[in-house]
Amino acid sequence: MNSLIKIKDFAEFTLTRESGNRVYDRIKHYLTNVSNADNLTIDFQDISDVSVSFIQATVFRLANEFSTIELKNTNEAIQFKIKTLLKITTIDPAILNKMVNLPVKTI
């Protein structure tokens, strides 16, 4: 089963780790109480920018918990942040393999 998460429904602010942690908690609460999804689609529609820390605190943490994660509507700014994150951190290849539509292929 797939669940669609629209970041705009869970976040007022996407530029800090703290906001990423709050969004992660909100998404986890939602998924625990509403959906038993194995696969997750994260939609960034209407989100103009995020911080690298926000991506770490939400997307990569969620990727550790689901079979697959698909990213939708990532604009150039968001793609740049994901690419930066992939360059500056060591991310478990098992997590990367779960992610669909990464802006770069790393594996």
CA-nearest of 9, 10, 14 to 50 is 14
Residue range 3-24, pLDDT digits in tens: 899 999 999 899 999 999 999 9
**Cα→Cα distances 1→18, 37, 57, 68, Å:** 29, 5, 23, 11
Which pLDDT value is given to residue 103? Answer: 60
Residue range 46-101, pLDDT digits in tens: 999 999 999 999 998 888 888 788 899 999 999 988 888 888 877 776 776 677 66
Which pLDDT value is given to residue 25? Answer: 96
What is the reported pTM?
Answer: 0.83
pLDDT of residue 36 exceeding 90: no
